[in-house]
Amino acid sequence: MNPSLQRAVTSFYNLIYEAQTFATAMARIDTAEQEHYAGRIEGLNWVLDRCQELEDMDANLTPSSLQRILGEVKSDLEHELSVQRREKGRRADGREEALNFVADYLSSLITATEIESAKTPA
């Protein structure tokens, strides 16, 4: 995989991790919004668990393999978002917000992977 794409994947994973760290710190500071931040943390934890393969990613991973992994993550994410929209529970708003945040970046990363796959001979 090209170094730029590898950096993008690493940055994507780190962005989610940092968002989780931020939400955790904010939950401790802003006690009035603690449940909302708890929902964000829950959503981001779900994404981090689902993206574990990205953290352990090998530099030799092909763009098409990465595209497959990201496609699976996106499919799971879309399903989880549909569940959140149906079940506006105690933490749903923060969780849905976190999942929407990740979805935008994931879509961009999938596009970059598609571009890179098109450049690489099969």
The residue behind tokens 């978002």 is 81
3-state SS track over 41-54: HHHHHHHHHHCHHH
pLDDT in tens, the chain (122 residues): 788 888 888 898 889 999 999 999 999 999 888 888 988 898 899 888 888 777 666 666 788 888 888 899 899 989 888 887 777 665 557 888 888 889 999 999 999 888 888 886 65
Helix (H) or strand (E) holding 4: helix 3-29
5 within 8 A of 66, measured Cβ to Cβ: yes
* Count of domains forming the chain: 1
What is the residue type of 15? Answer: L
The CATH number covering residue 57 comes to 1.20.120
Query: Which domain does 75 fall in, by range?
Result: 3-119
Tell how many helices (H) and how many strands (E) occur in the chain: 5, 0
The first and second tokens of residue 49, run together, are: 């668990």
